Amino acid sequence: MPSLPRLVTPLVLTSLLLTASSTVAETPEEKGHALAARSDRSDRGFTDSVVELEMILRNARGRESRRQLTVTTLEVADESLGDKSLIVFQSPADIEGTALLSHAKITEPDDQWLFLPALKRVKRISSVNKSGPFVGSEFAFEDFTALELEKYDYKWLREEKCGELTCDVVERYPRYEHSGYTRQLSWIDQTAFQVRKVEFHDRKDSLLKTLTLSDYRDYDGAWRSHRLSMVNHLTGKSTDLVYSDYRFKTGLGDADFVKTVLTRLR
C-alpha cells in the first residue's frame, strides 16, 4: 500500500473495515491491510501487560541454552505511536538485572536505554540494528519488538488451509529503515484472526526463517500466543519463546516507563 498520511490512517482504516465484507472492488493491498488491521486490533485493548518469558536457544546440534526475562508493555492507543516496553533479564545469572527500555516508534528508530547493573549505568543505545540477533537468539530485534500495524505495507495473496483452520496469506513489506527483510509472508486464520505462521525473506529475497505461533489464549479479547518457534533455515538453529503468567491492566502508566525507572527496578 502506498504510504498513507499518518493522521488520516485511522479514518481510512475504519472505512476499509466497513467495506471489507462488501463486494466493492478491493485491491489486494487494501485487503491485506484490512486483514492485518483486524488481526492487530484483536491483540489490543490490553492497556498494559506483564509476562514471564523463557527463551530456549538451540544450536544445529540441538544443544540448548535458556534465558528468563520479564516483559512489561504499555499500550499506546494511538496507532501512529509505538508501545513502550521494559525487558528485565532474570537469567543467565551473570546478566541478571540487565534491563532494556524501549519507546517504540513506527518508522523512526526507537528510543532505547540499557541498564547495566554491575556499574549501575544507564546507557542510551542505538536502535538501528533492527536485523541483528536479540541476545544471541534467532529472533532479530525487529521480530521481537511489538508488531505495530503501520510498520508495514501489506498485500493479500490468497486463501489456504493452515492445519485445522483456513488462513489468509498476507505479504507484508517493512516501511522502516534497516530491516533485514524484503518481505514477510504471514498466515492469518479466518476464525480468531491470529497470525499462525510467518516466513521471513532476507534482503536477497531467499527464505531465511520460519516463525510458528501456537497455544493462543484469549484474555478478554486480547489474544496472545504462548509459544513462538523460530527456525533459521540457513543455520539449522532455532529459538522458542515460551510465555507464561500473563497479567493485564496492572495499573501501569507512562511514569513506569521513564528512563530513571531503570535504576529502581531492584
Partner 1 sequence: MSVARTSLLAGALLGLLLATPASAVRFEVSGTAGAELRLFTGAPLLPGQDAEPQPSLSFQPELRWSSENRRHRFTVVPFFRWDGRDPERTHADLREAWWRWSGKRGSLLIGWNKVFWGVTESRHLIDVINQDDALEDVDREDKLGQPMIELSTDHRWGNLSLYLLPGHRRLAFPGRSGRLRLPVPIVGRDVHESSAGSEHVDAAVRWSHYLGEVDLGVSWFHGHSREPRLLPAPGGLTPRYDLIHQLGIDLQLTKGAWLWKLETLVREGHGRTFTATVAGFERSFYQAVGRGGDIGLLVELLHDDRDATAPPTAFQRDVFVGTRLAFNDTQDTSILLGVIQDLEGSGRTVFVEGERRFGQHGKLELEGRFFGGLAADDPAAVFAADDFVTLRWSLFW
User: Does the protein bind partner 1 through residue 10 (CB under 8 A)?
Assistant: no
- Least Å distance between CB 112 and partner 1? 9
- State which amino acid sits at residue 75: E
Residue 26: is it exposed, middle or buried by C-beta count within 10 angstroms (0-12/13-18/19+)? middle
Distance (Å, whole) CA 82 – CA 84 = 7
Site string for partner 1, 81-100 (x = CB under 8 A): ----------xxxxxx----
| Total residues in contact with partner 1, by rule CB under 8 A | 38
User: Does the protein bind partner 1 through residue 70 (CB under 8 A)?
Assistant: no
User: Does the protein bind partner 1 through residue 32 (CB under 8 A)?
Assistant: no
What part of residues 216-245 is at the interface with partner 1 (CB under 8 A)? Answer: 235
What part of residues 122-181 is at the interface with partner 1 (CB under 8 A)? Answer: 122-126, 128-129, 131-133, 135-137
Query: Which of 11, 60, 66, 233 is in the footprint of partner 1 by CB under 8 A?
Result: 66
User: Does the protein bind partner 1 through residue 60 (CB under 8 A)?
Assistant: no
Q: With beta carbons less than 8 A apart as the criterion, state whether 207 and 198 touch.
A: no
Query: Which of 14, 27, 59, 250 is in the footprint of partner 1 by CB under 8 A?
Result: 59
- Least Å distance between CB 94 and partner 1? 4
Query: Which of 120, 227, 233, 247 is in the footprint of partner 1 by CB under 8 A?
Result: 120
Residue number with CB closer to partner 1 (92 or 163): 92
Tell me: cis bond preceding 92? Omega within 30 of 0 counts. Answer: yes
Residue number with CB closer to partner 1 (52 or 111): 111
Distance (Å, whole) CA 89 – CA 248 = 20
CA-to-CA dists, residue 42 to 91, 146, 205, 265, angstroms? 32, 14, 30, 31
Query: Which of 57, 100, 222, 262 is in the footprint of partner 1 by CB under 8 A?
Result: 57
Q: With beta carbons less than 8 A apart as the criterion, state whether 55 and 67 touch.
A: yes
Distance (Å, whole) CA 51 – CA 54 = 10
Distance (Å, whole) CA 178 – CA 130 = 6
Q: In terms of DSSP H, where are the helices of the chain? A: 9-20, 28-41, 141-144
What part of residues 189-218 is at the interface with partner 1 (CB under 8 A)? Answer: none
